[in-house]
Chain A
Amino acid sequence: MGRYIAKRILYIMVVFVLLTFMLFSLYRLMPANRAYTDAKAEIQALKNSIPASERDTKFDELYLKYQRMYGTDTDNTVILYLRWLGVYPYYNGKCNGIFQGNFGHSYEYNAPVLQVLAPCLRNSMLIGAFSEVFILIITIPLGINCAVKRNTPFDRGVQAFSLIGFSTPSFIIYICFILLFSSILGWFPVSGMKTPGSDYHGAKFVMDTLWHITLPAICLIFSGLAYNIRITRASMLDALSLDCIRTARAKGLSQRTVIYTHAWRNALIPLVSVFVGGFFGIIGGAIFMESMFGFKGMGLLLFNSTKTADYDMIMFIQVIYVFIGLVANLVTDLCYGLVDPRVRISK
């Protein structure tokens, strides 16, 4: 097992480097030159103190200084990438990259990327984990019940709901919910994370925040139901048609034991990747929900960064996505081993 994990981690590292290098090269094509803008800004500030004749040489000097500072004093993409990773030294002989904790600089917020990103990541993960747990609590029993009571009116109803829900883009669900709960009933605020102009502390702050994030959470849960019900029901149906279930029934085991112990264990195998994917997906945030509610999470951050062409930020978020994707794959495979003994034996 240990060897297997080590192998997988090695593989992850290789893919990670390859993918990030590809992305890095892609972003190199974008017209963003921080050294140039900074040098330009400084020369503007110094405009009056130096004579016009020296301005060009001074600018070149400054430009070089900033290029060296930001490590862009070469056109070699590989070197730039290695500097970005933090394994190739800058002009001053020091490494300053991801391995040293420098994830880039956000132009938009004029702050280190990590500093801007951390609270967003926290928000996204909190609401995402909360709603993901709720989704599972609702959909697993519902999916199992539907599969067991196949073709009853109950199942038909749930199936119709999940078909419509599955075919509805999530933002339409959000529009309807905002309209119903905020505009018409007025129970929740339309958007935002705190009452504008308020400066609450302690319990009041918590209450205010809860009041603001209830509707986003409900929306997130609701939009996740359909897909999960569909997939749970489908894999449970497959599991129920297995021969081992017939055998279990023939043995005279109780319905409960047959369904929850025998069938569910089998149904879980294809579901593992969905569940793991769901939990890792929360790190990416929910773009539609966050952009519609103005919820400060990863999705909104990415959305705004792409709108304002904040490349360091986008690059880092992208790196996170790639990393999460790879780790999620590993975790999924490990979970397969957990729920499926056959996989465990074969490794």
Chain B
Amino acid sequence: MSNKSKKHENIFRKLARWFVRVFMGLKYEEKWFPRESKGEDQDKKPDDSEFIVSPGRQAFNSYMERKFAVVAFIVVIVMFLIVFIVPNFMPKYSDSYTEVTLKNLPPNLTMMSVPKELKNDIKMIDSYGSFSVGLSNAGKVYVWGCKKLGASGMDVEVPEEYQDIKMAMVAAGVDHVIAIGEDGKIYGWGSDRFGQYGRSANSIESSTIEAMPEELYENGVDVAHVKKLTCGYQATAILMDDGTIYVWGNKQTYSNMNNFIGRTDIYDVDFTLNYIVGLDSKRSNVYTGTRGLYDMARTKIGGKATKMFEFLNGRKIDEITATTSSVCLLLDDGSIALAGDFVADSIEVPTLAAGEEFVDIKAGNYHYTALTNLGNVYSFGGDHYYQAEAPANIGKVAKIFTGAFQSYAVDANGDYMSAWGFRGFPLGSDDVGANILERMIVGGRITMTVGAVAVIIEILIGVTLGCISGYYGGWVDILIMRVAEVFSSLPTIPIMLILTSLIAQMSLTTNQRLFMIMCVLGVLGWPGFANITRAQILVARESEYVTAAQAMGVREGKIAFKHILPNIVSVILVSMTLSFAAAMQTETGLSFLGFGVNYPQPSWGNMLTKASNATAAKNFWWQWVFTSAILIFVGVCINTIGDTIRDVMDPKSSSER
């Protein structure tokens, strides 16, 4: 009858029908997928009791009728697939990745979005961390990216009173912005805790802060003769045409700042993360005031370094630009030289065609973007955010700018052409600057693996012992049940805490540790399974259907597998689902307390550890809200599945409810 027609149903048609049923309801299903045999069924529709449907099929059907449960099931499956498949497509992800300039950032995807008003009129763009500043030819400053800085709660949007001032130059540090007005005055905003701008009492008194020079603060500079304005981590430098340099800011970050103060023979200057690097008037080496820094040069990132003097061989350095740990030198013959350290996943310097030479080079925090005389743009260096992968065929580029993790190409009219690099964190960043979304996915994999393996161990021990106990009975039964009783009467979390702290004393690799935690969770959770299995076997052995089957002459093996096993499996299935949720919760709790999975390995539990601090929980809400939400959501879904399976398996409930 209807069963027969269903059997011939195409698998795709079946899936489509399920989809319609799940998301649109039974009404549409009947409308769009009418049962072929409906016509002949209608007049002789048999009574419910005449149907012979196997218990499994019956349970499956009634499960499918519960929309919420089906959605929950799909969600859990999808979640499983995501956490196990997506990490394979995150080649740049690393557990212990940290980025000091991107700490505690809220969800934001606008780090590369140049404001529309600026797009046709770009004069310059600069950035050192989470936000970028741009200056239009009309002298207006624009800020985009994370304007509210996580670490200090500082707002770096252009202050009201500076908005109408025509600016000539602008530069951004990690939490401050310095702009030089057309009038020569120097404007600063953002954080001034480390003397980034202005002359606060604190900045003058402190020995670790170099305050902004007084004459600069009072009188400003002659804009026409400013050669370069650049900002470092929490410091700023202004270089004049005549070689005079003004430097101020956090001396703790830039320990060689004193070597630059008062100098009048500087040709070019830039900031790495820890040093100020400059060129003196000889232009034959990188000046830092510290011996042995950046004195070996090479042409390729992977190339062999030679002494700077030998490398230059009489050539002069035209321009110096620095990432956080390396410097790039543009030489007067149009070639470049590299010094310092590059991160592991760096993209190699391109080999130029004959006759093509570099005319400009700009540095982000890890990458360089270079412009050649033919108008081609090349990026190289650190590529964690794909910032060193310049698109091909941009067109003829006239000017290039770089943000901390972005590059921008601009044509001769100052029109925006293209940008590549880092857009921002969709779910924010954590307290070491790692992407929360990525950690959530990888953490989900760990949390779910721990839960699943723990449940498998529970089942293996529990079902085996339960079977033995139920089958043999007698003193074996008593012994096993007593042991189970003792295990189940121990408080889970405290015992777990003690055992994991014992594990912590052993010298294990992270993966072995993880496995030990799974084992501990499994070993402590088995009594539940043992009890159910034993009870089911006892019931099944005595039940009428088994007796009936025996009376009908069904073979022992068939009784065991066809009659008893399905009954046990269904009950174990329920218990498994609920235990999975419980094991996940226990793991999260342990990791939250710092005993389960430890940093740098992410888990949904240890990602929430920081939120136990009320201030952090309030200021950096994105660091725990999303993770908690996904944790609760998955928990609700799994528990719903478990509850529903139990309901549909229970003959009493299905007939009554």
Q: Do A and B bind each other?
A: yes
* Pair A321/B588 contact, Cβ less than 8 Å: no
Give the residues in chain B near A317, CB-CB below 8 Å.
494, 498
Q: Mark B624-635, 1 if CB is under 8 A from A, else 0.
A: 100010011001
Q: When A171-B589, A184-B618 are in contact, do A321 and B636 touch as well, CB less than 8 Å?
A: no
Q: Is A70 an interface residue (CB 8 A)?
A: no
* Pair B494/A287 contact, Cβ less than 8 Å: yes
Residue of B482, B594, B615, B628 most packed against chain A (CB within 10 A): B628
Give the residues in chain B near A314, CB-CB below 8 Å.
498, 501
Q: Is B585 an interface residue (CB 8 A)?
A: yes
With CB as the reference atom, state the residue of chain A lying closest to B497. Answer: A306
Q: Is B96 an interface residue (CB 8 A)?
A: no
Complex: how many Å from CA A100 to CA B538? 47
List B residues 603-657 near A (Cβ within 8 Å).
605, 608, 611-612, 614-615, 617-618, 624, 628, 631-632, 635-636, 638-640, 643, 652, 656-657
* Pair A281/B491 contact, Cβ less than 8 Å: yes
* Pair A302/B494 contact, Cβ less than 8 Å: yes
Q: Is B486 an interface residue (CB 8 A)?
A: yes
Give the residues in chain A near B657, CB-CB below 8 Å.
151
* Pair A163/B639 contact, Cβ less than 8 Å: yes
Give the residues in chain B near A328, CB-CB below 8 Å.
489
* Pair B632/A167 contact, Cβ less than 8 Å: yes
Give the residues in chain A near B490, CB-CB below 8 Å.
321-322, 325
A75 CB to closest chain B CB, in angstroms?
20
Q: Is A292 an interface residue (CB 8 A)?
A: yes
Q: Is B82 an interface residue (CB 8 A)?
A: no
Residue of A30, A151, A281, A284 most packed against chain B (CB within 10 A): A284
Q: Is B90 an interface residue (CB 8 A)?
A: no
List A residues 178-233 near B (Cβ within 8 Å).
178-179, 182-184, 190-191
Q: Is B344 an interface residue (CB 8 A)?
A: no
Please classify the interface of chain A as helix (H, G, I), strand (E, B), loop, or mixed, using the class held by over half of its residues. Answer: helix
Complex: how many Å from CA A164 to CA B626? 16
Give the residues in chain B near A183, CB-CB below 8 Å.
614-615, 617-618
* Pair A325/B486 contact, Cβ less than 8 Å: yes
Complex: how many Å from CA A40 to CA B489? 42
* Pair A241/B593 contact, Cβ less than 8 Å: no
Please classify the interface of chain B as helix (H, G, I), strand (E, B), loop, or mixed, using the class held by over half of its residues. Answer: helix
Q: Mark A144-172, 1 if CB is under 8 A from B, else 0.
A: 00000001000000000001101111111
Q: Is A102 an interface residue (CB 8 A)?
A: no
Complex: how many Å from CA A314 to CA B502? 11
Q: When A163-B640, A168-B635 are in contact, do A329 and B593 touch as well, CB less than 8 Å?
A: no
Give the residues in chain B near A277, CB-CB below 8 Å.
489
A268 CB to closest chain B CB, in angstroms?
20
With CB as the reference atom, state the residue of chain B lying closest to A27. Answer: B502
List A residues 110-131 near B (Cβ within 8 Å).
none
Complex: how many Å from CA A30 to CA B497? 15
B418 CB to closest chain A CB, in angstroms?
43
B404 CB to closest chain A CB, in angstroms?
32
Complex: how many Å from CA A314 to CA B657? 49
Which of A151, A167, A178, A190 meets B639, CB within 8 Å? Answer: A167
Give the residues in chain A near B267, CB-CB below 8 Å.
none
* Pair B589/A167 contact, Cβ less than 8 Å: no
Give the residues in chain A near B636, CB-CB below 8 Å.
163-164, 167
Apart from the given pairs A163-B636, A241-B652, A314-B498, 8 other A-B contacts in the complex at a CB distance below 8 Å? A151-B657, A179-B617, A183-B617, A190-B614, A285-B494, A292-B612, A306-B501, A328-B489
Chain A residues at the B interface, C-beta cutoff of 8 Å:
11, 15, 19, 26, 29-31, 151, 163-164, 166-172, 175, 178-179, 182-184, 190-191, 241, 277, 281, 284-285, 287-288, 291-292, 299, 302-303, 306-307, 309, 314, 317-318, 321-322, 324-326, 328-329
Chain B residues at the A interface, C-beta cutoff of 8 Å:
482, 485-486, 489-491, 493-495, 497-498, 501-502, 505, 581, 585, 588-589, 592-595, 605, 608, 611-612, 614-615, 617-618, 624, 628, 631-632, 635-636, 638-640, 643, 652, 656-657
